[in-house]
């Protein structure tokens, strides 16, 4: 006890707090623009900024040649019918605006961020890029060369190699297993015609959600959105993609990365996706498992053993599956020990009901993260994107918040048993092949050596 | 014809965005406690959260050259325990309150950051005060964090392509100064760090008169002032801090080093020039020039090296804005080893061109527009705002520059750009690091 400024402070206990503020999801409006397009809008005038996002409900898992979407989107700003690549970039930079295209397995996004007062000019540039790309042969050559170099650089990154190997091993035969930068032998198919087909499949053949957040009122957002959707999504089709098959047996794959004194471990396990009723429970268990600093994995591997700078687990949701993933970089010599720790922690969490203290701590963290997640119009844009992509209720985040707040440990236990058993895992390690093979001798019956694109190069079988 | 139309379009844009600057003013209230701690309050009710930042004026430049990595290692220890808070509890308190925490260390600063739900405002203040009063440095914590820091070095430096670039560049750009060694330190120094060393470091730098506390978010200022007085008011003022003098001798000659890198797939050319320090007049002109040369796809270097000549896959610049010096490091990744010399030649032609002719009015206006838009976009949440405010206190002793610094950029003229181009880039005294991919042993 100390006497400070005439006030007695008990330094030995943390200060008491008042009631946590209630989270209320930002009030957005959803409007159907046409059979295949919708607008989600949220207005705030705190900053003079606007985020305008076009979400294509179609991603690289539907592309004809792996990697071609990346090249196609890059080409949209590399010259239009009326502007060279330089003119386009200069005009955009003049506005202090940014226009980005990103693609993932299930969807692609065109995102324009700028000050509200230049929005009209920036919007015209975005429209030009979307509807009038020139796909000039010279620019195509240049862009493919850049793509190849970027692919080469990514393949020098052990994190990329480990993730690619994990996805390939887990989702082999399914497009989710394709490497982000595609397969080298498909690059020759990146012809002007195929690139143009790819462009048409997104612009005219995909459902569209437009997400507008920030300092733009609903009527104006609606006007701009209609200007786009009147020309888009008029021939929507969706390819049938098989559901994911789940294996029971764990699988170890190694991708050689000789020059590193560390190894990168990626563990993956297919799980439920965001539409499943237990998704909130799964997300909460993941927080305890490896989703925050106080998680079991971080406590053991970083804070107790000091074997890593960080170890994280995450849940990602896709259309055809969900993925529980763990990733970490560790000293090469300690790789087997850390893999064992991860599996052991999975086993524990799937066998034992959670203690109330641990659960409450994770809940508090999770509930607080809701408050922090709605600070800016860009964060709100992300929330609306999730709602749009998964056709969730407008009230989804409020419902999710209530579920997390009220769920009990006995209600979570069946989800722990079902979804955290260390079975059906893909354990991918990027590191020195020889040392890893020595370390893992006898650990699994067999393991595969993969190349940089996730293709099988060879197989080791244990003799014992 | 197309070009003329484009330029006229640009002129329309120039007038259109002359109306920038309508961002809401960020309002601040500042006080200084008797012990020298500066406290700045900023109300932002965008969301029911509060961020706190404690910025200590200590970075790796303040370390003993024989004991590098201390400032950063110490940052890890600040999350261990205090006289009142048991080991492994700080993260627990903050996370179970629904908050997040983080910290960073650079050559000049060490900064601690919390964001919590608004009802928990007292918690980060209690933690910050407790560790400012009396941190407990114990063997167990030091040994665990030693392992973590060494793995961090492995992740960030030793196992990245071109990972030791900054380490090598700093050594040659600022020999004899505190900027010469890497913030993360050398393995041999991390191995030798003792508890006594850390205690001395703490006593010297972790004093209220060497720090600033910023609180930004949804709170009541009068209540917050009471909490601040309760928790920080009785911490005694520290001794006057004696820092090692920073000496910068002129670069004597061109440094040209070839590095074989097993992690790199493509070669890398990194050319470093000494530049202005933070806040001096040249700094603003140099920042805009850097933007014109190497920021975005319309920049000169991207257009020349990547787009037109197709020699490189990337051409950018890393600006180093430090308290006592600065640097511009031009980063070029040639698309093959065959193009290394051609890339160097093209870079130097572009640099010579800007030294001789300066830049155009259109280029300058574009760079100012980008900076103006970025300045509004970068302060849109409580934590980023609190960090900016603390930096303006630390380097300019004027937190309100968060609202006015943009004027210094807007005042830059074409002559200023030409002058700084000549002053800093028209020289052979630079550091060139050429990384060549070395094939790893199979």
CA dist., res. A385 & res. A396, Å (int):
12
Tell me the pLDDT tens digit for each residue of A43-85. Answer: 999 889 999 999 999 999 999 999 999 999 999 999 999 999 9
Residue A213 scores a pLDDT above 90: yes
What the block records as the tokens of A150 is: 């970027």
Q: Does A149 touch chain B (CB under 8 A)?
A: yes
Quote the pLDDT of residue B9. Answer: 40
Q: Do A361 and B92 touch (CB under 8 A)?
A: yes
- The answer to whether B53 and B387 have CB atoms below 8 angstroms apart is yes
Q: Do A91 and B10 touch (CB under 8 A)?
A: yes
Strands A446-450 and A251-256: parallel
Q: Return the CATH number of B255-437, one of 3.30.830.10, 3.90.180.10, 3.30.420.10, 2.40.110.10.
A: 3.30.830.10
Nearest CA in chain B to A368: B98
Strands A208-214 and A37-43: parallel
CA dist., res. B144 & res. A35, Å (int):
58
Quote the pLDDT of residue A246. Answer: 62
Q: What is the DSSP string of B233-287?
A: TTSPPPPPPP------PPP-S-EEEEEEESS-SS-EEEEEEEEPPTTSHHHHHHH
Half-sphere exposure of A380 (CA within 13 A, CB side): 29
Nearest CA in chain B to A91: B10
Quote the pLDDT of residue B421. Answer: 96
Tell me the pLDDT tens digit for each residue of B260-274. Answer: 998 888 899 999 999
Nearest CA in chain A to B375: A96
Closest CA to B225 of B34, B25, B30: B30
Q: What is the average per-residue pLDDT within B135-150?
A: 85
Tell me the pLDDT tens digit for each residue of B293-335. Answer: 998 889 999 999 998 999 999 999 988 889 999 999 999 999 9
- The answer to whether B62 and B110 have CB atoms below 8 angstroms apart is no
Partners of B16 on chain A (C-beta within 8 Å) are: 117-118, 121
Phi, psi (rounded to 5 degrees) for B429: -85, 85
Partners of B49 on chain A (C-beta within 8 Å) are: 371-372, 375
Q: Do B154 and A376 touch (CB under 8 A)?
A: no
Sheet with A308-317, strands from edge to edge, namely: A308-317, A322-331, A262-271, A426-431, A251-256, A446-450, A456-461
Q: Where are the beta strands (DSSP E) in A118-261?
A: 208-214, 251-256
- The answer to whether B205 and B78 have CB atoms below 8 angstroms apart is no
Q: What is the DSSP string of A58-89?
A: --GGG-SSTTHHHHHHHHHTS-BSS--HHHHH
Quote the pLDDT of residue B131. Answer: 95
- Which residues of chain B from 123 to 152 reach within 8 Å of chain A, CB to CB? 123, 126, 130, 143-148, 151-152
Domains B28-232 and B255-437 share a fold: yes
- pTM for the model stands at 0.88
> Domain locations in chain B?
28-232, 255-437
Mean pLDDT (chain A, rounded): 91
What the block records as the tokens of B243 is: 């820092």
Among B13, B113, B231, B381, which would you mutate to test the A interface (most chain A Cβ atoms within 10 Å of its Cβ)? B13
CATH 3.40.920.10 fits B28-232, yes or no: no
Nearest CA in chain B to A287: B95
Confidence of residue B345 (pLDDT cuts 50, 70, 90): very high
Confidence of residue A19 (pLDDT cuts 50, 70, 90): confident
Mean pLDDT (chain B, rounded): 90
Tell me the pLDDT tens digit for each residue of A124-157. Answer: 999 999 999 999 999 999 999 999 989 988 998 8
Partners of A263 on chain B (C-beta within 8 Å) are: none
Partners of A155 on chain B (C-beta within 8 Å) are: 265
Confidence of residue A247 (pLDDT cuts 50, 70, 90): low
Confidence of residue A287 (pLDDT cuts 50, 70, 90): very high
Q: Where are the beta strands (DSSP E) in B124-251?
A: 135-136, 211-217
Sheet with A98-103, strands from edge to edge, namely: A29-34, A37-43, A208-214, A49-56, A108-115, A98-103
Tell me the pLDDT tens digit for each residue of B14-73. Answer: 333 443 445 678 999 999 999 999 999 999 998 999 999 999 999 999 999 999 998 999
- Which residues of chain B from 269 to 328 reach within 8 Å of chain A, CB to CB? 296-298, 303, 306-307, 310, 313
Q: Does A255 touch chain B (CB under 8 A)?
A: no
A11-25: burial string, b at 16+ Cβ within 10 Å, e else = beebbebeebbebeb
Q: A169-173, B82-86, B105-109, B152-156: lowest mean pLDDT where? A: B152-156
Residue B344 scores a pLDDT above 90: yes
Among B15, B17, B262, which would you mutate to test the A interface (most chain A Cβ atoms within 10 Å of its Cβ)? B17
Q: Does A90 touch chain B (CB under 8 A)?
A: yes
Q: Based on C-alpha coordinates, what's the Rg of chain B?
A: 24
């Amino acid at each position: 006890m100390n006497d400070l400024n005439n006030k007695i402070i008990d330094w030995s206990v943390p200060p008491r707090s008042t009631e946590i503020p209630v989270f209320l999801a930002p009030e957005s409006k959803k409007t159907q623009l046409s059979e295949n397009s919708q607008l989600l809008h949220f207005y705030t005038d705190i900053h003079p900024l606007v985020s305008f996002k076009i979400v294509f409900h179609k991603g690289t898992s539907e592309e004809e040649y792996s990697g071609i979407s990346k090249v196609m989107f890059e080409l949209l700003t590399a010259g239009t019918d009326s502007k060279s690549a330089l003119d386009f970039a200069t005009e955009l930079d003049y506005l202090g605006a940014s226009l980005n295209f990103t693609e993932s397995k299930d969807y692609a996004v065109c995102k324009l961020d700028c000050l509200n007062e230049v929005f009209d000019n920036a919007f015209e540039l975005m429209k030009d890029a979307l509807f009038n790309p020139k796909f000039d042969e010279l620019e195509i050559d240049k862009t493919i060369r850049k793509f190849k170099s970027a692919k080469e650089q990514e393949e020098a990154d052990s994190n990329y190699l480990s993730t690619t190997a994990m996805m390939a091993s887990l989702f082999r035969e399914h497009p989710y297993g394709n490497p982000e930068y595609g397969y080298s032998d498909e690059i020759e198919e990146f012809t002007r015609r195929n690139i143009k087909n790819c462009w048409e499949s997104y612009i005219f053949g995909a459902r569209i959600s437009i997400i507008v957040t920030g300092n733009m009122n609903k009527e104006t957002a609606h006007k701009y959105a209609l200007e786009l959707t009147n020309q888009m999504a008029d021939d929507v089709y969706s390819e049938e993609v098989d559901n994911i098959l789940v294996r029971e047996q764990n699988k170890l794959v190694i991708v050689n990365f000789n020059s590193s004194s560390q190894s990168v471990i990626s563990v993956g396990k297919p799980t439920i996706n965001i539409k499943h009723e237990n998704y909130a429970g799964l997300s909460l268990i993941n927080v305890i498992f490896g989703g925050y600093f106080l998680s079991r994995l971080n406590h053991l591997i970083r804070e107790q053993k000091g074997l890593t700078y960080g170890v994280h687990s995450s849940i990602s949701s896709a259309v055809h599956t969900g993925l529980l993933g763990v990733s970490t970089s560790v000293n090469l010599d300690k790789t087997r020990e850390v893999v064992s720790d991860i599996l052991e922690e999975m086993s524990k969490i799937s066998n034992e009901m959670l203690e109330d203290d641990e659960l409450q701590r994770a809940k508090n963290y999770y509930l607080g993260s809701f408050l922090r997640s709605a600070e800016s119009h860009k964060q709100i844009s992300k929330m609306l994107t999730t709602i749009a992509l998964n056709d969730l209720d407008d009230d989804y985040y409020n419902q999710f918040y209530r579920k997390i707040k009220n769920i009990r440990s006995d209600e979570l236990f069946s989800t722990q048993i079902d979804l955290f058993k260390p079975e059906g895992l893909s354990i991918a390690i990027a590191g020195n092949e020889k040392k890893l093979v020595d370390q893992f001798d006898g650990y699994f019956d067999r393991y595969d050596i993969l190349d940089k694109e996730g293709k099988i190069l060879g197989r080791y079988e244990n003799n014992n | 014809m197309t070009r003329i139309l484009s330029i006229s379009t640009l002129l329309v844009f120039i007038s259109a965005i002359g109306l920038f600057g309508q961002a809401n003013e960020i309002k601040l209230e500042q006080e200084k406690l008797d012990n020298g701690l500066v406290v700045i309050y900023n109300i932002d009710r965008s969301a029911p959260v509060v961020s706190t930042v404690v910025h200590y004026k200590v970075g790796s430049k303040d370390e003993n050259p024989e004991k590098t990595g201390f400032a950063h290692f110490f940052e890890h220890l600040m999350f261990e325990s205090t006289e009142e808070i048991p080991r492994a509890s700080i993260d627990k308190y903050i996370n179970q309150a629904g908050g997040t925490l983080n910290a960073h260390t650079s050559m000049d600063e060490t900064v601690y950051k919390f964001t919590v739900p608004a009802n928990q405002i007292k918690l980060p203040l209690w933690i910050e005060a407790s560790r400012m009063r009396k941190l407990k440095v114990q063997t167990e914590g030091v040994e665990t964090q030693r392992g973590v820091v060494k793995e961090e070095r492995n992740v960030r430096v030793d196992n990245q392509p071109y990972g030791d670039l900054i380490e090598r560049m700093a050594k040659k750009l600022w020999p004899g100064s505190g900027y010469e060694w890497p913030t993360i330190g050398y393995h041999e120094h991390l191995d030798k760090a003792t508890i006594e060393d850390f205690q001395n470091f703490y006593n010297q730098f972790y004093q209220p008169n060497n720090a600033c506390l910023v609180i930004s978010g949804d709170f009541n200022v009068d209540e917050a002032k009471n909490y601040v007085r309760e928790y920080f008011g009785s911490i005694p003022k520290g001794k006057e801090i004696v820092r090692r003098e920073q000496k910068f001798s002129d670069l004597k000659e061109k440094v040209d080093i070839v590095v074989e890198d097993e992690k790199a797939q493509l070669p890398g050319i990194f050319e470093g020039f000494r530049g202005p320090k933070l806040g001096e007049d040249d700094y603003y002109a140099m920042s805009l020039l850097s933007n014109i040369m190497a920021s975005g796809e319309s920049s000169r270097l991207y257009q020349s090296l990547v787009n037109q000549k197709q020699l490189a896959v990337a051409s950018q610049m890393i600006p180093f804005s430090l308290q006592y010096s600065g640097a511009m490091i031009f980063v070029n990744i040639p698309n093959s080893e065959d193009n290394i010399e051609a890339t160097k030649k093209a870079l130097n032609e572009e640099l010579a061109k800007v030294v001789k002719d300066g830049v155009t009015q259109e280029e300058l206006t574009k760079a100012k527009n980008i900076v103006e838009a970025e300045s509004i976009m970068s302060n849109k949440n409580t934590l980023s705002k609190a960090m900016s405010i603390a930096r303006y206190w630390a380097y300019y002793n004027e937190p309100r520059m968060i609202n006015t610094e943009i004027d210094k950029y807007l005042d830059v003229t074409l002559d200023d750009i030409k002058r700084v181009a000549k002053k800093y880039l028209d020289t052979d005294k630079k550091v060139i690091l050429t990384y060549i991919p070395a094939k790893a042993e199979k």
